[in-house]
Structure 1
Amino acid sequence: MEESLMVLIERWGVQEGQKASLLDMGEKEWAKVKAGARISDNSVAWDRAEKLIRIHKMILPLVGGDIDLATDWVGRINMGLGGRSALDIMLSDGGLGVDMVLAYLNRQFI
């Protein structure tokens, strides 16, 4: 999962200084993950990583399976998210923001 996560957050355009925060982990732990360490199972970071990957998978059907459009969607202003981008919400509001984006995407499938 770590490799997929690294590719995903890179494609989303998350700045280096924001990556640890997005995953709710410290800079030292992030440095270990970047160097190849695994994210601890049953940790907040593991839960967050799973949710981020789920967000990406939920976006894909909304954009016809186009990975580039799914990547762009995360950074694009979205009126359904109060005129903010999903990435902005996730970075600004942490775990609550990730949950808000997931809830928004869940509503798209109801």
Structure 2
Amino acid sequence: MSIASAQYDDNEILAMTRAAAALVARWGVQDEAVERLLNGEGRAAALLGIHRALRCMFADSDRAARWIGAPNEAFDGASALDLMLADGLSAMKRVKAYLDAETAG
């Protein structure tokens, strides 16, 4: 049994997936990439955690959406979005850890 299925019931997983889908649409993710971001266990929760961290950093949601697609030296010049599309859940965890460290300071 995975952590995601142990932590959340089916209704909660569905609600998180819907919220994450709306979030990535707000970030301007193209339709063909949305499924790549959302398809996999734990990804919706990870994306919502990234969103929460971005909201701590930026009061303006448009600025947060721009950050996700902007090149970032912390990711070797790639954007957080490009990193997550390329490396999936492990990259989402990396982005979340980076944001957590930034907001902890």
TM range (shorter): 0.7 to 0.9
> In 1, distance between residues paired with 2:90 and 2:82?
12
Give the letter aligned to residue 6 of structure 1. Answer: A
* Structure 2 residues without counterparts, runs of 5 or longer: 1-14
Report the equivalent of 1:4.
19
Report the equivalent of 1:21.
36
Identical aligned pairs, as a percentage? 36
Q: Number of matched residues?
A: 89
Give the letter aligned to residue 82 of structure 1. Answer: D
TM-score normalized by the length of structure 1: 0.73
Shift of 1:78: 1.1
Spell out structure 1 runs of 4+ moving beyond 3 A. Answer: none
RMSD: 1.4
Shift of 1:24: 2.4
> In 2, distance between residues paired with 1:106 and 1:59?
9
Structure that is richer in helix per residue: 2
* Structure 1 residues without counterparts, runs of 5 or longer: 26-43
Report the equivalent of 2:6.
none
Shift of 1:68: 0.6
Give the letter aligned to residue 20 of structure 2. Answer: L
TM-score normalized by the length of structure 2: 0.76
Report the equivalent of 1:50.
45
Report the equivalent of 1:84.
78
Contact 2:68–2:80, Cα closer than 8 Å, also in 1: yes
